[in-house]
Each structure stands twice: as C-alpha cells, then as structure tokens.
Structure 1
Amino acid sequence: MPRVVFLLLPRLHLLDLAGPAQVFSTAADLGYGYELSYVGEREDVPTAQGLPIRAQVTWPELDTGDLVVVPGWRGPTFHDSPRLDPDSSRRLAEHHAAGGTVASVCAGADALGRAGLLDGRRCTTHHGLQDELARRYPRATVVRNVLFVVDDRVVTSAGIASGIDLALHLVAVRHGPGAAARIAREMVVYTRRNGDERQAGALRYRSHLSDVVHRVQDLIDSRFTEPLPLGGLATASGVSPRTLTRIFGEATGMTPLRYQQTLRVERAEHLIGRGASVESAARAVGFQDARMLRRLRARTNVPSAGSSGGGPAGSASSTYDA
C-alpha cells in the first residue's frame, strides 16, 4: 500500500494540504490503496486560515513507492518561511536519494530547495514567488506560468488549487488516466489539467473516463505544434485509426484533428494577447501561415466532430497539421 506523507509546517494553507489529501483519500476510498500520514515538527500546527491541525511528530517508515508532499504556507516572501528543522530536510533528501518521490505545493518549493532537491532541476511555484525562488536557488531552473513541473521524482506545483492537479497527475502516472478521471469526477473537479497552463482552455474535453483517449490527448497536448498523422496516433494508442476516430468522438465530441486545432488556437490567442502578431502566433503554434488561424478564430462555435478544418479529419491518411 503506497503511503503519502504530508510534512506540515506552521501557517500552511489549508487548500495546499486539503486538495492533494482529498485526491489520495478519494483514491483510497475507490480501492487504489493509499495510506495518508501527517507529520510535523510539533504536534499542533497553526494554519494560515486559523484552524489548527494536529500532526504526528514521528515519521513513518518510507519505501521507494511512497510520496512525501510539502504544502505551502502564507508569507509574502520566502524570507517569511517557517523554520525547517535539519532533520526534516534530511528526511526529504534521503527519501529522494533512496528512490522516492518528493512534491511541493506553492511555497513548499522552498522546503525542497533547502533540502537541496531543486539544484540542477526544473521547478515551479506560485507566480508571485517565482522570481524570488530563482534568486534563492540559482542552480535551479524555475519554469514560469505553469501548473506543475516533474523532474527526476521532484514534483513542484503552483499555488493553492494546483496541488489537486499535481496529485491527479501522480495518480494517473501510477494507475492510468482513467483512474484520475474517476477520482476527479468523484471530487467534481477537472479530470486533469496539464502542467502547462497554455492548454487550460481545452479542459472541457477531459471529463471522460477513456484511458485510450486520455493518452492520445496527452500525446497531442505535448506535441500539438507538430504534424500528427492519425495513423501514428492510432498506433501509439494501440487501436485502429477508425476505432480511434470513433472513441475519440464519443469521449470528446470532436476528432483528434479538431482537438489539436483547438489547442493551437488557444495557444495562439495567448500569444496574440501578449503582443504577438497573428502571423507570428500562427507559425509558433504550427500553422504554415496565418490563413488557417484566421479562419478558425473567425468561427464563433467549436465545429462539430465531422468538421475537418481543411482536410479529411477522420481518414487514416489525415495529418494533424493545418
């Protein structure tokens, strides 16, 4: 039974703790076999919201399959961070060195940094703390404006509610995206937001429970600027092109091409909103020129699953590139 240990430091944010704790608790209720523990450097831990929490001061025995999570705390800067006992830093470092996974939510990244776990790794934190994290740990690479970052079993997330996304991601890695979708549905939250916030707009198409479709969406999400032939997506998902088109449409209401185009348009809108020209935004997201982007932006509604946006979207020879 995998164990999830939350290291509770003074002034922690309740949702930084409660979000991921609810994910793993719900996973346990659904039979995925998690055991949760809450440890602190003292028994009574004050929270930022005024509700005290009782923690155990003795760490449980940890295995390589276990997870340690450090929720964040209130403080305008890391200089206001609570003191971290050397024994806690040592336990974080030793668990990772032994092959375990260590995660943080929001300001909890500072605890990982003090344990030496951010050196030479990519990481993130709340957008208001990113500059300071980069100055405090110059050997780390701070990835800005994303929900979470995974680097060599060190998982860091942005502020507050993003801890839910982090936890659902870890469940999906261990048990498959269908399990994460089942837990998210039970919690009435988005099935799973991707680490890169640029794709947040496409989340409405993630409320299904199909492992195959989630995996194809993961592939498209990570490579949406590239040509993605339907046959290649089908091969990667272990089904035929015809089957993939059918189940993808049943799960999302659109074709894989339409889904990729949606990601491209949303990313282009993000770039245009930050001052990019339509032409440069179009090329940045994978269009050969701005004509297709202008056509897609001009549509007021998402086209139906049968709409190809310029090609036979459902055919085996289709290439997911406009």
Structure 2
Amino acid sequence: MSRRIAVVIFPGFQLLDAAGPIAAFEIAERYVPGAYELWVLSAEGGEVESSSGVSLASDALDERPYDTIMIAGGDGTRSLPELRRIVAWLRRRAPSVRRLASICSGAYLLAEAGLLDGRRATTHWGRSDDFARRYPKVRLDADRIYVRDGEVWSSAGITAGIDLALALIEDDLGAGPARRTAQQLVVHQRRPGGQSQFSALLDSGGVNGRFAELMDWIREHLEEPLTVERLAGQAAMSPRNFARAFRAETGMTPAKAVERLRLEAARARVEGGREPIERVAEASGFSDPERMRRAFLRAYGQPPQALRRAART
C-alpha cells in the first residue's frame, strides 16, 4: 500500500524545501514501485508562489488520510494569514497521521500548533534564537542537521530537507533504496542527523566571511593548543571582543568551533585511511583517543572505529 506524503506550502515558501524531498520520494518510488504517493497542499489550493518567484501547483488542505505530513519552510512563516489555517489543520490532523516532519523554519508551524511541546527539534541556525524565545517548551537542538523525536521529525535549513527525506525513506524502505536514491541525487547517502549544520558556516568564515582567514589558519594548526587568547591574537582582537564577535558571526564559541574543525579533520582521516586511531587523535589536536572518542559520540553518535568500519563497508 502506498504511503501518502503531503508536502504543505504557503506563499513565500522556500522552493528547495519542497522540491528536494519531493524529488527524493519520487526517485525512491522508482526503486520500490507503489511505495509513495505525493501531494502538495496549501491553505486554499492553486498556484503558490515561492520566495524565488517560481510557483508550485497545489491542492487545498483536505481530510484525506495521510501517512506523513511535511511542512516546508521559508520567509513566509513570519506572518501570513494562511498560516493560521495551516496551524489549525495540523492540530486537527496530527492524531490521524503516522508521521509529522518540518523542513527549516517549517518547525515554526509545528511549534505553533503545539506539536513540538516537550520534544526535541531543530530548525535553521539563523532562526534558532528567535525560535527558542517564541517556543520555550520545545527542546531546541539547533546544531543538528535533523532530529527525530518519536514520529515527529524536524530538519535544519534547505538542503537538510533532502537529508531528512533520505532518513524517512530508509526508515520506510531500508538502507538499500535510500542508498540508491542518494546515488541518483548525487548526494551523500546519509549525513547523520547529529552532524552539525554549522559546518558550512565555519567553512565560509561566518555569516559575512569575517573569519575565513582565521578558519584556514586553525586548520593548519590543529595539533597545537588553540586558546581563545591565541585565536584573538591571530585575529588582531582582544579576547573578549573576539569571543563576542566570533559567536555572533558563526553561531558558536571559539572553543566549540575548534572542536568542530578537529572533528571534521579527524573523521576524514578515520574514514579515509588506516592509520591508528591514536595517531589520528594526536594529529587532529585531541589530547588522547578517549577524548576524541567522546567528541565523536557527541557529534556523530558513533565512536571513530564504527565510522571507519562503515566507511570500509
């Protein structure tokens, strides 16, 4: 029996929030015919314009049985009369569906409907402070690519919707169809939900690229002690001003950023080589393998040895 998937949009939605998961489910259905039936819904139906100006055709919100309801995100979540109708519909329909999911700022609609109260969830890093203020009952985990709490799923910004869709496909159909879908999409089979959504922000040196040169310098000196004082000196700033500016630019403290860069370097060496874990820990700036193991568990939910085995497989 087909799983009926509803993707809910609204004026000003982010096009890829909807199109990415739709493409993933459509491709998975090729490999497992009859697995999915896709519907695009909106408050009133008809053509709905995205933030890019490109429109999608949609049906009006209805009472058909759905297996999964996914809410797209976008700037339209800020203030639209249509959202009140969607929120009311979500409250009414939630008990009858197997699974709820949000992409990016679509989490605002699930939270407004009270469907995230007491649950772990994530959203785009740029909305996390505002989201936490508005919805204190939600256990926001803003560092995650996607979060599953029971049968309620949420994801970070835009392309993370594809990661979420692949995870849903794997949950439904198993690793094989999910892997083939990812290959067809030419994306990684699965970025773990625990992977940080701040990685891309660090790669670019922050929102405005202010610390791009510093990020490059840190990567070249991971084996060395990297205190706030040393990083501030490298950036030609006072430690206090540097710590404040760095967090505003990247969304994390300097210490957390250094650990993240060390983790990424260590993971690449763990998955791509055969050198001893002890040497990887040393080369990546972790004081010992146990410290690195704990950092891997926090970030990826698995120890280094498990990631190495998975990569070899």
TM-score tier after normalising by the smaller chain length: 0.5 to 0.7
CA distance in 2, matches of 1:255, 1:71: 33
Match of residue 291 from structure 2: 283
TM-score (ref. length: structure 1): 0.61
Which residue matches 1:103?
101
SS of structure 1 residue aligned to 2:193: coil
Structure 2 partner of 1:56? 59
Tell me, yes or no, if structure 1 residue 24 matches structure 2 residue 32: no
For these two proteins, the number of residue pairs brought into alignment is 226
One-letter amino acid of the structure 2 residue matched with residue 95 of structure 1: R
Offset of 1:83 from its aligned partner? Answer: 3.3
Residue aligned with 1:197, SS: coil
Change (3 A) 1:259 1:183: farther
How far is 1:182 from its partner?
Answer: 0.8
Q: Separation in 2 of the partners of 1:190 and 1:265? A: 25
Measured at CA, do residues 258 and 103 of structure 1 come closer, stay the same or move farther in structure 2, by a change above 3 Å?
Answer: farther
Aligned residue type for 2:74: W
CA, structure 1 residues 281+48, in 2 after alignment: closer, same or farther (shift >3 Å)?
A: farther
Q: Which residue of 2 aligns with 1:120?
A: 118
Note the aligned Cα RMSD (angstroms). 3.6
Note closer, same or farther for the CA distance 1:124–1:260 as it changes in structure 2 (3 Å cut): farther
Unaligned runs of 5+ in 2: 200-269, 296-303
Contact in 2 for aligned 1:73/1:81 (Cα 8 Å): no
Map of 1:44 onto structure 2: 47
Partners of 1:137 and 1:41 in 2: how far apart? 23
The answer to whether residue 81 in structure 2 is matched with residue 73 in structure 1 is no
C-alpha contact (below 8 Å) 2:277/2:289 kept by paired residues: no
The amino acid that maps onto 1:175 is L
**How far does residue 81 in structure 1 lie from its aligned partner after superposition?**
3.7
Give the structure 1 partner of residue 129 of structure 2: 131
In structure 1, the gaps of 5 or more residues are 202-253, 273-277, 288-295, 297-303, 306-322
C-alpha change, 1:113 and 1:58, in structure 2 (3 Å) is closer
Q: How does 1:195-234 map to 2 (within 5 A)?
A: 195-198=193-196
- The equivalent position to 1:145 in structure 2, one of 143, 163, 170, is 143
Question: What CA distance in whole angstroms lies between the structure 1 residues aligned with 2:5 and 2:276?
Answer: 35
Alpha-carbon distance change, 159 to 286 in structure 1, aligned in 2, over 3 angstroms: closer
Q: Distance in 1 between matches of 2:53 and 2:272?
A: 47
Query: Which structure has the highest helix share of the two?
Result: 2
Q: Following TM superposition, by how much is the alpha carbon of 1:187 offset from its aligned partner in structure 2, in angstroms?
A: 1.4
Query: Percent identity over the alignment?
Result: 33
Give the direction of change, closer, same or farther, for the CA distance of 1:7–1:186 in structure 2 (3 Å limit).
Answer: same
**How do 1:162-311 and structure 2 match up within 5 A?**
162-198=160-196, 261=277, 278-279=286-287, 283=291, 285-286=293-294
Question: Does the Cα contact within 8 Å between 1:125 and 1:157 map onto a contact in 2?
Answer: yes
1:260–1:124 Cα change, 3 Å: farther
The offset of 1:95, in angstroms, is 3.2
The change in CA–CA distance for 1:255 and 1:142 in structure 2 (over 3 A counts) is closer
> Equivalents in 2 of 1:181, 1:260: separation in Å?
29
Instruction: Render the CA deviation track for 1:60-93: whole Å, top value 9, x for unaligned.
Output: 5114xx1111111126xx6x34334444223323
What is the aligned partner in structure 1 of residue 16 from structure 2? 15
Comparing 44-53 with 127-136, greater Cα deviation is found at: 44-53
